[in-house]
Chain A
Amino acid sequence: MAVRRRLALPAWRPKGLLGLALLAPSLVFLGLFTYWPVLQVLWQSLHAEARRQTVFVGLGNYRALFADPAFAAALVNNLVYALGTVVPSLVLALGFALALSSSTRLNAALRAILFLPVLIPLVAASSLFLFIFLPQVGLLDHYLAKLGVQGANWLGDPDVALWSLMGLTIWKNAGYYMLFFLAGLQGIPEESYEAARLDGANSWQRLRYVTLPYLRPTLSFVAVIALLNVVTQVDHIFILTKGGPSDSTNLLLFYVYQQAVERYDLGKAAAATVVSLALLLALSATSLRRMERRTDAEEAR
């Protein structure tokens, strides 16, 4: 027993050290640029700054945050924005992928066209949409007028602005998600479809009972990415609306920016960052775990 342990030890030790040594470069960078800043933000969220002096305020920043109606508005906006962009862009992306899965020359061209918005940086796309959305003179209103439809003040009406931004987001992201679904579709064995056909399954049944189950891991993965994008992409808000009119398009990340820059309230900005980070972590942890569990269950089957 003792001999075995002695033998086991040296075998284990260098292995662990080697692992650590291999991890070290990325650990150093992760530590410096991810975990250290996270700690700093946590520290900052417990302090207030005024006249170049820093005071400890405990949970004061968090209390101020939850008492701020603008923060509540940003949370609600972000929720609406999440539902209104993730679901349609996933459905569209899946639809595109299914329609363009076979490799013909036409399909390749169409895929490229649908992928094009992904290549345009969000900042540039937003600057373009500033002019597409211009009331009366913009492209959108120009063509609507030809159809005899009265346009709207797309970015200037508090009831419409968030929906305009959602439209832009869907346009921008659907092509990207389509790529993942295309890749997922490649992984479905042809035999499964053949078996389904032999069993007399129609095209809807083949989609429902063959394609979708096979795509489930892809779907969960893309859903997580899409949800992260909802919280981390803010360029279009910055360029197009700055959260307005009347805070109707203010999202969490832009709210953080406002607190830090416009109000110079670094403590509250840090507190808002911690809250959004916690939300994001919880979200990705649950969806990733669910994804794992499902894959395990499928393998067990």
Chain B
Amino acid sequence: MTFHWLRQAKGAALGAALLAGIGSAQAATEIELFFPVPVDGKLARDMAAMLKEFNEKHPEIRAVPVYTGSYDETLIKTRAAIKAGKPPAAVIMSANFLTDLAIEEEIQPLDPLIEADGKTPDAFMGQFFPALHGNAIVGGKVYGVPFHNSTPLLYYNVDHFKEAGLDPEKPPQTWDELLAAAKKLTKREGERTTRWGIMAPSNYDYGGWILQALTMSNGGLWFNSEYGGEVFYDTPSMLGALTFWSDLVHKAKVHPAGEQKGPGVSTAFLSGQASMMLLSTGSLTHVRDNAKFPYRVAFVPRNLRNAVPIGGASLVQPVGLDEAKRKAGWTLIKWMTGPEKSGWWSRATGYFAPNMAAYETPEMREFLGKNPDAKIAVDQLRFAGPWFATYKTVAVRKTIEDELQAVLSGKKTPKEALAAAQKGADELMRPYVEQTALKLPATN
């Protein structure tokens, strides 16, 4: 009797399981997309509109956008979701976190999905600007699909240029020209500076990126893009870059002292208290909407070569997803990074579209015709390289940013700052280095 009852119960359980299985096969696969909004609140609505359209076109999938705050918060929430065993099927992740996430085995390579579509990873990545490949491919495998990207850009006030006798058609192209222009543009009343020739942000996150742009323009690399355990802080290319920035502040006095925050720099530029600024292409829309004077943009000036790092975010897939969600997430990722959506998102945000074919669409041609500043941002991509990304990227970056801020505040010389930063970074990366580059065969 007991046996019989048990068998019945088992049968019922099996039936229920089967039913549930059939049910889920018929219903849409439900997936989540974690997305940060690094620019402004309106984008959350744009993202919802985009996913609504996706769901209409893909009845077999129901994708839910989950707003996860800033890039950093998105990282925290993704890690928490992985730990809880409920990872989202896709995440828009800051492009420089990918190396660390891949090292920590928290995101998975997309190569099997690409190959299942009958493509090679090279052919798949071929649709995106070459500058973006470095941050998406880790250890030879594709870990991310570029979604929206940026580079630093030189913004300048055309009225100030004319007033100072500079030709707005010929923005400074070299560090020499930049310094000369900044000197002419700076205004003083006695001891007080009423207008700065140039400003650049040096707060955490932004400062490291701008310093990388200067270092790359000075022939340097900042980090080993092939291996996550090395940075090149204590090197001549970086010493030159940091010294140049320090000289703008302490010697030429054309740039304010101390740490400058991103919003402070753009506000100073928009209020006419700074004539030039180095800022992200991601601010183009903000500046375009708020500048009450004619402005222009140009490439970041060079000392040895034109070169800038990219910024922005890629779509990634965390580990621990079941097969159905993984495939549904992949469908979403491909759709969001296709030429049409890529272009649409670019026009809404001011970031450039990573998919090169986006620039062949009629909407994008029209947009670039109307906004030549957006075109310069895209042109500079030819000279762009990967954003620093190492084991424990944020902490490794902070070691140099603390020193950068000390130099700009006049508390340290560039030379001693770089030595300290190198020491701090090496210390941070040591556990990884010991398990990789310094893990050698035993000789005894």
Q: Which residues of A contact B (CB under 8 A)?
A: 50-52, 130-131, 134-137, 145, 150, 153, 155-159, 242-247, 258, 261-264
**What are 12 of the A-B contact pairs (CB < 8 Å)?**
A52-B319, A135-B264, A153-B257, A158-B258, A158-B405, A244-B203, A245-B402, A246-B406, A262-B72, A262-B394, A262-B398, A264-B79
Binary CB contact string for chain B from 203 to 220 against chain A (1 if under 8 A, 0 otherwise): 110000000000000000
User: Is B134's CB within 8 Å of the partner chain A?
Assistant: no
Known: A137-B273, A153-B256, A157-B257. A245 touches B104 (CB 8 A): no
Question: Whole-angstrom distance between the alpha carbons of A214 and B284 in the complex?
Answer: 61
* Candidates B75, B106, B191, B259; contact of A156 at CB < 8 Å: B259
Note all chain B residues with C-beta closer than 8 A to A157.
257-259, 409
Query: Are B259 and A150 in contact, CB atoms less than 8 angstroms apart?
Result: no
Q: Does B41 contact A (CB under 8 A)?
A: no
B133 near A: Cβ within 8 Å? no
Whether the pair B257, A262 counts as a contact (CB closer than 8 A) is no
A264-B259 in contact (CB<8A):
no
Min C-beta distance of B417 to chain A, whole Å: 10
Chain B positions near chain A (C-beta within 8 angstroms): 72, 75-76, 79, 100, 103-106, 191-192, 202-204, 256-261, 263-264, 267-268, 271, 273, 319, 392, 394-395, 398, 401-403, 405-406, 409, 411, 428, 431
Main secondary structure of the interface of A (DSSP, over half): loop
A158 adjacent to B409 (CB under 8 Å):
yes
Cβ distance B332 to chain A, nearest Cβ, rounded Å: 25
Within the complex, which residue of A137, A242, A263 is in contact with B204, where a contact is CB–CB below 8 Å?
A242
Given contacts A137-B268, A153-B256, contact A245 B392 (CB under 8 A): no
How far, in angstroms, from A243 to B411 measured CA to CA in the complex?
A: 17
CA distance A155 to B256 in the complex (A): 13
The answer to whether A150 touches B192 (Cβ under 8 A) is yes
Q: Which residues from A are CB-within-8-Å of B202? A: 156, 245
Q: Across the interface, which residues of B come within 8 angstroms of A50, CB to CB? A: 104, 431
- With A245-B406, A246-B406, A246-B409 known to touch, is A51 a contact of B105 (CB < 8 Å)? yes
Q: Considering the chains assembled together, what is the distance between the CA atoms of A202 and B37 in angstroms?
A: 62
Known contacts A51-B105, A155-B261, A242-B203; 9 additional CB pairs below 8 A are: A136-B256, A137-B271, A150-B191, A153-B259, A158-B258, A158-B411, A246-B406, A246-B411, A263-B392
- Nearest 10 CB-CB pairings of A with B: A156-B259, A245-B405, A153-B258, A156-B258, A245-B259, A262-B394, A157-B258, A263-B395, A246-B402, A246-B405
Residues of A contacting B405 in the complex (Cβ-Cβ under 8 angstroms): 156, 158, 244-246
Q: How far is the CA of A158 from the CA of B260 in the complex (A)?
A: 12
| B residues near A135, Cβ cutoff 8 Å | 256, 258, 260, 264, 268
| List of A residues within 8 angstroms of B401 by Cβ | 244
* B104 and A156 form a contact (CB under 8 A): no
In the complex, what distance in Å separates the CA atom of A159 from the CA atom of B319? 45
Inter-chain contacts of A264 with B (CB < 8 A): 79, 100, 104, 392
Q: Is the CB of B258 within 8 A of A245?
A: yes
Minimal Cβ-Cβ distance residue in A for B392: A263
Q: Which of A136, A156, A247 contacts B402 (CB 8 A)?
A: A247
Interface centre among A155, A263, A264, by most chain B C-beta atoms within 10 angstroms, is A264
Which residues of the partner chain B approach A247 to less than 8 Å between Cβ atoms?
Answer: 402
Known interface pairs A136-B273, A263-B394. Does A130 touch B263 (Cβ–Cβ under 8 Å)?
yes
Whole-angstrom CA separation of A157 from B203 in the bound complex: 11
Q: Is the CB of A134 within 8 A of B79?
A: no
Considering residues B191, B394, B402, B406, which has the most beta carbons from chain A within 10 angstroms of its beta carbon?
Answer: B402
How close is A129's CB to chain B, nearest CB, in angstroms? 12
Given contacts A52-B105, A137-B268, A262-B395, contact A158 B261 (CB under 8 A): no
Closest residue of chain B to A242, judged by CB?
B204
Partner of A134, one of B106, B267, B411: B267
Which residue of A is nearest B271, CB measured?
A: A137
Asked if B204 and A244 sit within 8 Å, CB to CB, the answer is yes
Which residues of chain A are near B191, meaning CB under 8 Å?
150
A263 partner residues in chain B, CB cutoff 8 A:
392, 394-395, 428
Please determine whether B264 and A134 come into contact, CB atoms closer than 8 angstroms. Answer: yes
Q: Which residues on the B side are within 8 Å of A137 (C-beta)?
A: 264, 267-268, 271, 273
- Cα A288 to Cα B245 with chains together (Å): 52
B257 touches A158 (CB 8 A): no
Measured CB to CB, the nearest residue on chain A to B72 is A261
Residue numbers in B under 8 Å from A258 (CB-CB): 395, 398
- Inter-chain CA distance A246–B207, complex, in Å, is 12
In the assembled complex, how far is the CB of residue B34 from the closest CB belonging to chain A, in whole angstroms?
A: 15
CA distance A244 to B76 in the complex (A): 21
A247 CA / B105 CA spacing, docked (Å)? 30
Residue of B nearest to A261 (CB): B76
Q: Which residues of A contact B406 (CB under 8 A)?
A: 158, 245-246
| Residues in B whose Cβ lies below 8 Å from that of A145 | 192
Taken together as a complex, chains A and B put the C-alpha atoms of A261 and B80 apart, in Å, by: 11
Q: Which residues of A contact B204 (CB under 8 A)?
A: 242-244
- The distance from the CB of A125 to the nearest CB of chain B, in whole angstroms, is 16
Q: What is the minimal beta-carbon distance from A272 to any residue of chain B, in angstroms?
A: 14
User: Hey, which chain A residues are within 8 Å of B259, CB to CB?
Assistant: 153, 155-158, 244-245
Residue of A nearest to B104 (CB): A51
> Complex: how many Å from CA A155 to CA B204?
13
**Cα separation A273 to B297 with both chains bound (whole Å):** 47
A247–B401 Cα distance when bound, in Å, is 10
CA distance A139 to B72 in the complex (A): 30
A258 to B403, CA, bound (A): 17
Please give, as numbers and ranges, the residues of chain B lying within 8 Å of A153 by CB-CB distance. Answer: 256-260
In the assembled complex, how far is the CB of residue A139 from the closest CB belonging to chain B, in whole angstroms?
12
Do A244 and B402 touch (CB < 8 A)? yes
A298 to chain B, nearest CB (A): 49
Residue of B nearest to A160 (CB): B258
Contact in complex: A156, B411 (CB < 8 Å)? no
Q: Given the complex, which residues of A lie within 8 Å of B273, measured CB to CB?
A: 136-137
Q: Taking the nearest CB of chain B, how far is it from the CB of A273, in angstroms? A: 16
Instruction: Collect the chain A residues with CB atoms within 8 Å of residue B105's CB.
Output: 51-52
Given contacts A155-B259, A156-B260, A262-B394, contact A52 B431 (CB under 8 A): no
